[in-house]
Chain A
Amino acid sequence: MLTVIFAVVRVIPGDPAQVLLGTFATAEMVAEQRAKMGLDRPLLVQYGLFLRQAALGDWGRSYHEGHPAFGLVLERMPATLELALAGIAITIVLSAVLGTLAARWVQSPADRLIGALSLLGQAVPNFWLGLVLVIVFARNLHWLPSFGRGTLAHLVLPTVTLSVQLIGVMTRLVRAGILEVMHQDYIRTARAKGITERAVLARHAVRNMLIPVVTVLGLQAGALLGGVVVIETVFAWPGLGRLIVTSINNRDYPVVQASVTFVALLFVFLNLTVDLIYGYLDPRIRYA
């Protein structure tokens, strides 16, 4: 993964030394700057140095601000984590509630409405939805701030924007999962024992349909993290996504490398979490 990121970042057109010094720099100034940044060395040497430093936790310094790239990433990480976790949390809660409601009263008007909304949620371009929400809730109603990070109110619009698509996917999945589980023999047994429909759902059905749901949630984490990059730009959210976009525009290689690597690591970490949750949901699954 490190190799791929290094290779991709190095072929970005444009000379970072040139970008840093501006259009009025002389050729000598640019050459000197390139030497200072180590860009005049052969690519293979640059690559070797990059690997050694990365292993030591040194990701180089931002060409632009002079701060260590790793420090910049750590500084932005909490904002992205906050947004991603808030998005996942609201997705789990809402899609569980909506999906269960739809499955409980299947083919009812409520089921149809929820189905239509979740289809719509998957079709809306999320950055556009973000802008519409800003127009309505920030500019016209003045209920919520339109950009930035700070209070809980700042978190509302970006989180909603980020999770709408995922809620659409997950609600349909929860509904389908519950409907499938409800035909199983053990559900009939539970009903035959005379327990209420609510207890059948909560105690017997939900846990057994959670495994496919959790799997898809892990897979969709990639879409969520991609969405973070776009949505952080819409809401000027000071996270890793925003850092990636600005540092790509500034040709700030060390920062691009460090931030992309950490978003990718976050993805791997989320999928690892999913694997660990399997073991909890179904005790028969064991990892050697």
Chain B
Amino acid sequence: MREITSSRKGRWALASGVVLALALFVGLAGPSIVPYDPVGLRLELRLQPPGVRLPDGEIAWFGTDQLGRDLLRQVIHGARVSILVALVTVIVAGVSGTALGLLAGYAGGLTDMVIMRLVDLQLAFPPLLLAILISAVIGQSVANVILTLSIIRWAVFARIVHGSVLSLREKEFVEAARALGGGAVRVMVRHVLPNTLTPIVIVATLQIALQMLAEAALSFLGLGIPSPLPSWGVTISQGRDYLQSAWWIATMPGVVMTLVVLCAGAFGDALRDYLDPRFGA
């Protein structure tokens, strides 16, 4: 512990980890502790500024939105959607990308060519643009957002894994495993995969921040999380029509989101420095 807190970098990593853990806790447990009715109207309480005391004695720390809903509660419930979508898409994209990259690198030949050309094709297309196109095609729902965001990221993982598998494949220990009669799947999973995990973990933590931003951008354009469900992007998008009269609707979820994304990025950086000191400067 002292080792971590003794350096400035360590303290930052610790602080960002604590904020992330808190955000994760709020996202997972918050909705069950703090009730929120996404379709409940309280028009007499609409557009109240942050810190105002509501008639029921409660203080609306973040203010209320255009329908009188409490913004803090909306942000807490939005955290569940935003964080879960980011986590699940990184896992789906990470697992499928890793599997395909592993297969391409290990099998070689035609399999390699087909998979890696697909990766090239995908990486030659601006990711957010692809996400916009796909979500326009498959329509709006939480599951579809997860599918869309997984599709736009798998290629990143596939390329990284492919690169390390190409060099690992020729190593003596892999040859030894094969010589001992290990089948292709066993050699891939038990011997090659564990040695590619460090870069995968590093990329995955950094991708979580990117996915949160992408989900918010999609929802903001009206192509992501469907509206009555609270998500940070949806709330910001709704606040757009009230910039003059109620600045807090668009501002509050953005501040929270910036903080969480910042901590995810900082934590990813710290993890990278710890796991692979050569990776960054």
User: What DSSP secondary structure best describes chain A's contact surface?
Assistant: helix
Decide: A4 near B121, CB < 8 A? Known: A131-B243, A131-B250. yes
A-contact 0/1 string along B237-281, CB 8 Å cutoff: 001100110010011011001110110011000000000000011
Interface check A179, CB cutoff 8 A: yes
Decide: A176 near B281, CB < 8 A? Known: A119-B266, A123-B258, A125-B216. yes
Interface check A233, CB cutoff 8 A: yes
Decide: A11 near B265, CB < 8 A? Known: A139-B243, A180-B281, A223-B126. no
Place the interface of chain A in its size category. Answer: 35 or more
Complex Cα distance, B137 from A95, in Å, reads 38
Among candidates A120, A248, A263, A267, residue contacting B124 with C-beta atoms closer than 8 Å: A267
Decide: A230 near B128, CB < 8 A? Known: A4-B121, A123-B209, A248-B136. yes
Contacts of A11 in B (CB 8 A): 137
Contacts of B137 in A (CB 8 A): 8-9, 11-13
Among candidates A8, A127, A135, residue contacting B247 with C-beta atoms closer than 8 Å: A135
Interface check A264, CB cutoff 8 A: yes
Complex Cα distance, B137 from A256, in Å, reads 12
User: What DSSP secondary structure best describes chain B's contact surface?
Assistant: helix
Contacts of A127 in B (CB 8 A): 216-217, 220, 236
A-contact 0/1 string along B107-129, CB 8 Å cutoff: 00000000000000100111111
A231 to chain B, nearest CB (A): 10
Among candidates A125, A225, A230, A267, residue contacting B258 with C-beta atoms closer than 8 Å: A125
A265 to chain B, nearest CB (A): 11
Contacts of A179 in B (CB 8 A): 281
B-contact 0/1 string along A238-267, CB 8 Å cutoff: 000000110011000000100010011001
A95 to chain B, nearest CB (A): 16
Query: Which B109-162 residues have C-beta < 8 A from chain A?
Result: 121, 124-129, 131-134, 136-139
Complex Cα distance, B126 from A127, in Å, reads 17
Contacts of A38 in B (CB 8 A): none
Q: Please determine whether B265 and A123 come into contact, CB atoms closer than 8 angstroms.
A: yes
Interface check B213, CB cutoff 8 A: yes
Contacts of A234 in B (CB 8 A): 240
Among candidates A122, A229, A267, residue contacting B265 with C-beta atoms closer than 8 Å: A122
Interface check A279, CB cutoff 8 A: no
Contacts of A131 in B (CB 8 A): 236, 239-240, 243, 250-251, 254
Residue on A with the closest CB to B132?
A229
Contacts of B222 in A (CB 8 A): 249
The residues of A with any CB-CB pair to B shorter than 8 Å are: 1, 4-5, 8-9, 11-13, 119-120, 122-129, 131-132, 134-135, 139, 176, 179-180, 221-223, 225-227, 229-230, 233-234, 244-245, 248-249, 256, 260, 263-264, 267-268
The residues of B with any CB-CB pair to A shorter than 8 Å are: 121, 124-129, 131-134, 136-139, 209, 213, 216-217, 220-223, 233, 236, 239-240, 243-244, 247, 250-251, 253-254, 257-259, 261-262, 265-266, 280-281
8 example contacts (A-B, Cβ-Cβ < 8 A) are as follows: A8-B133, A124-B261, A125-B213, A125-B217, A128-B253, A128-B258, A132-B250, A135-B251
